[in-house]
């Protein structure tokens, strides 16, 4: 695995909290809810804190190990919970990720599959891009023979407003390497994710 094959982790954005708080206060006033009284006095600070938390990716060390035993079958983490913010409406979308890979010379600590999802989910996202980012990072970092990612999510921008299709979920997938080109491996991965109870 060469350095150019490794997809880097994202860096945290620079957040100007006082400016964000002023913007929230201005937005609320423009919508007819000025920051007055006991209940809304701290709302700008709370909203700025909440968005800062949701938009900041957590750092982690992507621990990998040599595949000394030569394990060559699928490794799948199902129903990894995640949440993100729709970049079109600034409303959350949340659900489950199913992440799998066919090991090559390296294997990854299992918690890191969830950490990669969490890392790329932090920020303003669209589900299609998030799915690809997780798959591309794992494929590049692990040198895996194949990578598969399926995301199932409910988008509040679709369930709380607009069409208000409550309970509907959007499913996206990204397949790399043998999980894309080998029908048997692809079928096994998709069968394992299809039976997840989301």
The pTM score is 0.89
Catalytic member of 26, 53, 79, 87: 87
Distance, in Å, from the CA atom of 176 to the CA atom of 172, rounded to the nearest integer, reads 14
Return the pLDDT at 44.
97
* 87 part of the active site: yes
Catalytic member of 21, 86, 98, 119: 86
* Mean pLDDT, 10 residues at a time, the chain of 198 residues: 49 90 97 93 96 89 89 96 96 97 92 94 96 94 94 93 85 97 95 71
Work out the number of other CB atoms within 10 angstroms of the CB of residue 156. Answer: 16
Please report the domains of the chain, with CATH numbers, ordered by start residue: 17-55 (no CATH), 63-194 (3.30.1130.10)
Catalytic member of 119, 125, 127, 178: 127
Which residue from 150, 126, 149, 128 is spatially nearest to 137, judged by alpha carbons? 149
Which residue from 146, 183, 162, 184 is spatially nearest to 88, judged by alpha carbons? 162
Which residue from 116, 28, 17 is spatially nearest to 64, judged by alpha carbons? 116
Decide if 141 contacts 61 (C-beta within 8 A): no
* 119 part of the active site: no
Distance, in Å, from the CA atom of 104 to the CA atom of 144, rounded to the nearest integer, reads 5
* 86 part of the active site: yes
* 155 part of the active site: yes
* 88 part of the active site: yes
The position carrying tokens 């129903």 is 79
Q: Are strands 75-86 and 124-125 parallel, antiparallel or unpaired?
A: parallel
């Amino acid at each position: 695995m060469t350095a150019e094959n490794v997809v880097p982790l994202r860096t945290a954005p620079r957040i100007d909290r006082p400016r964000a708080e002023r913007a929230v206060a201005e937005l609320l006033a423009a919508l007819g809810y000025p920051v007055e009284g006991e209940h809304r006095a701290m709302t700008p600070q709370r909203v700025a804190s909440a968005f800062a938390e949701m938009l900041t990716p957590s750092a982690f060390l992507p621990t990998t190990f040599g595949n000394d035993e030569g394990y060559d079958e699928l490794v799948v983490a199902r129903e990894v919970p995640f949440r993100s913010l729709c970049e079109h409406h600034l409303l959350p979308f949340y659900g489950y990720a199913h992440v799998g890979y066919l090991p090559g010379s390296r294997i990854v600590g299992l918690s890191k599959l969830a950490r990669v999802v969490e890392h790329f989910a932090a920020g303003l996202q669209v589900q299609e891009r998030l799915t690809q980012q997780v798959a591309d990072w794992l494929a590049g970092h692990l040198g895996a023979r194949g990578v598969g990612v399926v995301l199932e999510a409910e988008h509040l921008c679709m369930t709380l407003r607009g069409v208000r299709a409550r309970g509907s979920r959007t499913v996206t997938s990204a397949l790399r390497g043998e999980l894309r080109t080998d029908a048997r491996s692809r079928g096994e991965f998709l069968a394992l994710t299809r039976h997840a109870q989301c």
